[in-house]
Amino acid sequence: MADFNKHFRMKVEDVVLYAREKLDIFSEDADLKAKEIGDGNINYVFKVWDEKTGQSVVIKQADTLLRSSGRPLDTDRNRIEAEALMLQSKLAPSFVPKVYKYDPIMCALTMEDISDHYNLRYELLKRKKFPKFADHITSFMVNTLLLTTDLVLDPAEKKRKVKNFINVELCDISEKLVFTEPYNDYLGRNIILRENINFVQKIVYEDKRLALEASKLKNNFINNAQSLIHGDLHSGSIFVNEESTKIIDPEFAFYGPMGYDVGNVVGNLFFSWVNAYVTMDEEEKREDFLSYLEGTIEDVVDLFTHKFKKMYKESVTDVLAKSPAYMDWYLNTVLTDTCGVSGLEIMRRTVGDSKVVDITGIEDLQQRIKAERILILLAKYLILNRNHIRQGKDYIDALQVALQEYNYHK
Ligand code: ADP
Ligand code: MG
How far, in Å, from the CA of 389 to the mean position of ligand 1? 33
Instruction: Please give the average per-residue pLDDT across 149-174, as a whole number.
Output: 97
Averaged pLDDT for residues 359-369 = 98
Is residue 5 in some structural domain? no
Ligand 1 pocket test target in 35, 45, 65, 67 with most atoms within 8 Å of CB:
45
Q: Based on the domain organization, do 83 and 158 belong to the same domain?
A: no
145 and 266 within one domain: yes
Does 345 map to a domain? yes
Q: How many domains does the chain have?
A: 2
Ligand 1 proximity of 251 Cβ (cutoff 6 Å):
yes
Atom of ligand 1 nearest to the CA of 37: 12
Q: Indicate if ligand 1 lies below 6 Å from the C-beta of 122.
A: no
Residues 248 and 126 in one domain: yes
Of 86, 112, 138, the one marking the end of a domain is: 112
User: Relative to the alpha carbon of 85, which ligand is closest?
Assistant: 1
Q: What is the rounded CA–CA span in Å between residue 155 and residue 32? A: 46
Instruction: Based on the fold, state whether residues 74 and 188 are members of the same structural domain.
Output: no
Q: How far apart are CA 129 and CA 293, in angstroms?
A: 8
Question: Residue 1 falls within a domain, yes or no?
Answer: no
Structural domain includes residue 380? yes
Q: Could you identify the atom of ligand 1 that is nearest to the CA of residue 44?
A: 3
Quote the mean pLDDT of the chain: 97
Distance 33 CA to ligand 1 centre (A): 18
**pLDDT value at residue 340:** 99
Q: Each residue of 19-77: pLDDT tens digit?
A: 999 999 999 999 999 999 998 789 999 999 999 999 999 999 999 999 888 899 999 99
Ligand 1 within 6 A of 371 CB? no
Q: Is the CB of 135 under 6 A from ligand 1?
A: no
Q: Please report the pLDDT score of residue 68 as a whole number.
A: 85
Could you tell me the distance, in angstroms and rounded to a whole number, from the CA of residue 109 to the centre of ligand 2?
A: 13
Atom 12 of ligand 1, residue of closest alpha carbon: 38
Dihedral sign computed on CA atoms, order 86, 148, 243, 41: negative
Query: Does pTM top 0.75 for this prediction?
Result: yes
Distance of alpha carbon 12 from alpha carbon 32, whole angstroms: 11
Same-domain status, 258 and 206: yes
249: CA distance to ligand 1 center in Å?
A: 7
Ligand 1 pocket check for 40: Cβ under 6 Å: yes
* In-domain check, residue 229: yes
Please check the confidence at residue 343 and state whether its pLDDT lies above 80: yes
Separation of 42 CA from ligand 2 center, angstroms?
Answer: 6
Question: Are residues 42 and 127 both part of a single domain?
Answer: no
Same domain, 187 and 90: no
- Does residue 38 share a domain with residue 168? no
Do 246 and 378 belong together in one domain? yes
In DSSP terms, 227 is beta-bridged to 256
Which ligand has the nearest atom to the CA of 61? Answer: 1
- Amino acid identity of 209? R
Residue 4 maps to a domain: no
CATH of the domain at 189: 3.90.1200.10
123 inside domain: yes
Proximal ligand: closest to the CA of 100: 1
43 lines ligand 1 (CB under 6 A): yes
Query: pLDDT tens digit string along 127-146?
Result: 999 999 999 999 999 999 99
Q: Which of 60, 85, 112 is the last residue of a domain?
A: 112
Please tell me if the CB atom of residue 37 comes closer than 6 angstroms to any atom of ligand 1.
yes
Assign 3-class secondary structure to the chain. CCCCCCCCCCCHHHHHHHHHHHCCCCCCCCCEEEEECCCCCCCEEEEEEECCCCCEEEEEECCCECCCCCCECCCHHHHHHHHHHHHHHHHCHHHCCCEEEEECCCCEEEEECCCCCEEHHHHHHCCCCCCCHHHHHHHHHHHHHHCCCCCCCCHHHHHHHHHHCCCHHHHHHHHHHCCCHHHHCCCCCCCCCHHHHHHHHHHHHCCHHHHHHHHHHHHHHHHCCCEEECCCCCCCCEEECCCCEEECCCCCCEEECCHHHHHHHHHHHHHHHHHHHHHCCCHHHHHHHHHHHHHHHHHHHHHHHHHHHHHHHHHCCCCHHHCHHHHHHHHHHHHHHHHHHHHHHHHHHHHCCCCCHHHHCCCCHHHHHHHHHHHHHHHHHHHHCCCCCCCHHHHHHHHHHHHHHHHHHC
Confirm whether 7 is domain-assigned: no
Looking at the fold, whether 18 and 87 belong to one and the same domain comes out as: yes
For residue 38, give the CATH number of its domain. 3.30.200.20
Tell me what pLDDT residue 39 has. Answer: 82
Shared domain for 182 and 222, answered yes or no, is: yes
pLDDT at 89 over 80: yes
Q: Which of 60, 89, 112 is the last residue of a domain?
A: 112
Q: Which domain holds residue 45?
A: 12-112
